[in-house]
Amino acid sequence: MNYQSSVSRSSNIRQAWLYFMYYWIVFAVGTFAGQFIPATLRMPISILIIAIVLISLFVKASRKFSALIANILAFLIGVVSYASFMYYLNDLGTVAFYQNVGLAIAAFFAFGFLGYFVIGDASSLGRLLFPALVALIFASILGIFIQIPMFHLVITIAGLAIFLLYTIFDFNRMKRGNFSPREMGFNLFINLLNIIMDVLRLASILRD
């Protein structure tokens, strides 16, 4: 029974990583499309993304469409991320941009290593991270209207901490077998993407 459980978990983990790569492909398609989207549409698309995220978090009926929602989010986030990537490339320079992306990826796998191999059971972490994520979303909405550098610095550091901890939590769930492959693949994609964006944003803020 233990052997069968181990084989099943290994199969689910492989599927989760396949979904992870799949959502990056959807994101890449969205990023490519983003170069053709007028700048005036980026804010409405960003608001739509926030609305979809809030609905998926608080409306139980939306779980029936979770696969569709994940695809839509990955694509739309890619669309609005194109402008961000171009901004950070110009602001930081090509070398610093890719160095920070590499740093973010290294941090993602380092914290994943902690969650999978070091920490025994991180299930209690989820109860703390969810309200922190909700608070971060609403703070980010306020950030659209509050143009105070220190406020954005705090949000960026908080966001980076939250998604690094979510990485520990999700890798720990994989170890314990408490996950569905598609959901986990999307979660890992979102974790890494947010870590990358927060590291780039932090580097840009500190540079300025």
Cα(196)–Cα(99) distance, integer angstroms: 11
pTM, whole model, 2 decimals? 0.95
Sign of CA dihedral 193, 36, 66, 68: negative
Alpha helices in 35-124 (DSSP H): 42-58, 66-92, 94-113
What backbone torsions phi and psi does residue 36 show, to the nearest 5 degrees? -100, 0
Cα(167)–Cα(188) distance, integer angstroms: 7
pLDDT in tens, 13-37: 999 999 999 999 999 999 999 999 9
The answer to whether the beta carbons of residues 174 and 13 sit under 8 Å apart is yes
pLDDT in tens, 82-118: 999 999 999 999 999 999 999 999 999 999 999 999 9
Residue 207: is its pLDDT beyond 80? yes
Number of Cβ atoms within 10 Å of the Cβ of 198: 22
* DSSP state letters, 137-163: HHHHHHHHH---HHHHHHHHHHHHHHH
Q: What is the pLDDT of residue 1?
A: 45
Residue 2: is its pLDDT beyond 80? no
Sign of CA dihedral 42, 44, 49, 54: positive
Least confident of 69-78, 145-154, 156-165: 145-154
Cα(193)–Cα(29) distance, integer angstroms: 15
Going by pLDDT thresholds of 50, 70 and 90, the confidence category of residue 171 is very high
What backbone torsions phi and psi does residue 135 show, to the nearest 5 degrees? -60, -40
